[in-house]
Amino acid sequence: MSFIFFDTETTGLHAGFDQIVQFAAVRTDNDLNETDRFELRSRIDPNVVPDVQAMLANGLSIEALTDQHLSTHYQMMRDLNERLLSWSPAIFLGYNSIRFDEEFLRHALYRTLHPPYLTSLHGNARNDVMSLALSCSASGDNALRVPLKDSGDPSFRLHDIAAANGIAVLKAHDAMFDTQTTLELCRLVKKLSPDLWRRFVRFSNKASVADFVTSDEPFVLTEFYGNRAYHTPVVFVANEPDQPNGMLCLSLVEPIEELASMSDEQLASWLLSPPRPIRRVRSNAGPTMMPLWEASEEFFVGTSCEELEDRAARIVEDEGLKTRIERVFSENRAQYPEPGHVEEMLYTKFSSRNDATLCDRFHSAPWSERHAIAQSFEDDRLKELALRICHFECRSALAPELVQAMDVDLAHRLMSTDARPPSVERALKKVEEGRPSSECEVSDIGLLEGYGAFLSERRIKIMRFLEAQ
């Protein structure tokens, strides 16, 4: 099996509304020897308003983000999809990629009418190298040195861990350099701790994750929230309803004697009280796990491995209790409002096979035929996205009155003061809040001033356009 290491640079943190502007990938063989690489860049779409903090982090000026010599986002994603498919099957790896880069990749594929789950299909698998760093820290393995922050907590930032392990960080927040840094970390772990590496590779396969979790043996689950790692001894209780890749595990930290006598109301209150005793594990998300007997005693929270194993055995044997926990948890879990924008609707449903075929026709057809194909989609999400692609890529192929209506809609969106999507109005306020101070880098001052001027000019043009309507 080959590996694909990848990283993205984006215009912000919202996978639906922001955009990938740089994508880099390195393919290796099973021994982590490089066999190929590529890098793609794109200019921003007309409806994308970059977040100023993201621009400061990656050092990309508004001139670079709007460079007309670069591919459009749609063109970049066409190339990216073709290249990654040609490299499949493989194991996709990045740093903090499951929560960030993978989400951006999925949403970018979705928004450009490509199958979004590329890294989980075609024989592919995925994992997150941050999980490998967490495993090294949790197991006490010396394969990676995890540096400490001023607070005394471990730092799992890619560049901090790289520097602590003698890996040169040549250019932070550049997709290709970050990809190369992630690859070097994996080479180091594979060399110094081959057992840990083999487990990491094993857990890139969701069937292996499911087998481990559902084995009825207790284990330590490591999760990362708020820049901190949390280690919880747990045992499997049930598969998550309506989530084929989800599994529910119960924390073993608290005694379980009172659970059987609780009413449903009391059980619900206990299950929903922080820190929540039910932990959700996704088999397709490369979770960080280790057998209980391998874990450090500091994760046992004042008890012993033997006591935790006893608690786990009693839960495993009590089918009635497990069924109640699953039912009460499912009945009381949080309900989220329906998303209001098409960019946020990736996970609302799956498209039909007929629509998948239409997507292929759309990509290969002349622009003059694509509007008609867009109207043929069964899925209203795909209709809207296809029409938007036509509007951005070849507006001359659309009827003038349709172009005018879409221009007006885009103008109102860019001038909106709503919480989302990002708008020119709110971006200008953020730029003003971040105006240069005596502590700013010279490059940051230039970037802020350039972006502020761009936004002000764009705002004037939009207002004039709307006034003329």
Please state, in angstroms and rounded to a whole number, the distance separating the CA atoms of residues 350 and 346: 8
Is 157 marked as a binding-site residue?
yes
Please state, in angstroms and rounded to a whole number, the distance separating the CA atoms of residues 300 and 284: 27
Query: Could you tell me the end-to-end alpha-carbon distance of the chain, in angstroms, rounded to an integer?
Result: 58
DSSP state letter for 281 = E
Are the C-beta atoms of 219 and 290 separated by less than 8 Å?
Answer: yes
Burial grade of 309 (CB within 10 A; 0-12, 13-18, 19 or more): middle
Both structure tokens of 393: 């890529």
Amino acid at 64: A
Alpha helices per DSSP H over 88-223: 102-111, 129-139, 158-164, 175-192, 194-202, 206-213
- 181 CB contacts (<8 Å, ≥6 apart)? 95, 158, 159, 162, 167, 169
Phi, psi angle pair for 15, to nearest 5°: -65, -25
Is 7 marked as a binding-site residue?
yes
Give the Cβ contact number of residue 208 at 10 Å.
15
Question: In angstroms, what is the C-alpha Rg of the chain?
Answer: 25
Please state, in angstroms and rounded to a whole number, the distance separating the CA atoms of residues 254 and 243: 27
Helix-strand-coil split of the chain, %, nearest 5? 50, 15, 35
Give the Cβ contact number of residue 31 at 10 Å.
8
Phi, psi angle pair for 253, to nearest 5°: -70, -40
Both structure tokens of 246: 């989800």
In degrees to the nearest 10, what's the CA dihedral of 301, 302, 308, 310? -160
Is 9 marked as a binding-site residue?
yes
- 24 CB contacts (<8 Å, ≥6 apart)? 6, 7, 8, 37, 38, 39, 40, 174, 175, 176, 178, 179
Are the C-beta atoms of 145 and 136 separated by less than 8 Å?
Answer: no
Annotated binding site: 7, 9, 157, 178
Q: Which residues are annotated as a binding site for Mg(2+)?
A: 7, 9, 178
Annotated binding-site residue numbers for substrate: 9, 157
